Amino acid sequence: MQLRSVLSALAITLSAYAAFPAAVSADTQIGIQGLSISGGHFENGNDVRGSALGAFIEVTQRWKSLRLHLEGIPVVDGAHAKSDRFGAITQSFGLFNGVVSVPVDRRGGLWAAIGTGIVAQRTPQLNFPFVGRNQVNMSRLAGTRYELSGSWRSPHATFFEASFADQPHMRGPDFLNVSIAGLDFERSEGENARMLDVSTAYGIVRGPVEYAIGLRWVNFSANFVDGSAADRNIGFGPTFEVRYGLFGQTREAN
């Protein structure tokens, strides 16, 4: 499912480029959003809290009535994660989103989007090195992403942005890997999940470069296919973003 979602996002991108040739006025940006996130992974008998640093790599292509946005964060390790039951551990988390947006107001400040999103996580559950046993939980889920975003720009080279995204029907496998005395065992079970992703940012424009600081909150909750609770992941933290408009482009004030 993860591979199909990535290919779908790429297909959407290529189709849009074919439908909207370069002759049409366009706005192309590449950027990076640094994120310092704190939160937790909660499941039956094993709650994990920690913080980590990461960076979203972003590409945005915008025409007058269509916008493509791709963003991804490589799998990063939570360097300061701590389990209530098992002590200090290292949790990993990764994310990819790709959406196509259309304006929903005449000024082009409010956009509605649909696309795809992928979440991957890896959480050690048990670690008994003296008896040679290690146990790790991993999941990879994907689903349709619905997004509403707004951008309000002033004539004074400043702007404010906000977005709300919902992925109500994410699906994928959950793996439990157990290693005992060098022998590996794996259990795979399906999961259904929902993810909410909310962000805000305030920024300034300096020629083709935009700088923005903001906040981002992610809430990811999953159940097994039989309806029992699987896990919940919550993350919140500040962001700092730098975007560069290719070919010296700048955004117009709304």
Intervals of the chain under pLDDT 50: 1-3, 5-7, 9-10, 13-14, 16-18, 20-24
Contact of 225 with 192, CB cutoff 8 Å: yes
Q: Which residues pair with 39 in a beta bridge?
A: 50, 235
Question: Which one, of 216, 240, 114, lies nearest residue 163 by Cα?
Answer: 216
**Tokens 């939570």 found at:** 78
**CATH numeric code, 2-248:** 2.40.128.90
Instruction: Collect all residues with Cβ–Cβ distance below 8 Å to 237 and sequence separation of at least 6.
Output: 35, 36, 37, 38, 39, 51, 215, 216
Q: Kindly provide the b/e burial profile for residues 1-40, where b requires at least 16 CB atoms within 10 angstroms of the residue's own CB.
A: eeeebbeebeebbeeeeeebeeeeebbebebebebebebb
Q: Where are the domains of the chain?
A: 2-248
Q: What is the pTM of this model?
A: 0.80
Give the pLDDT confidence of 29-75 residue by residue, as tens digits.
Answer: 999 999 888 887 777 766 777 787 888 899 999 888 899 999 998 76
The span from the CA of 254 to the CA of 252, in Å, is 6
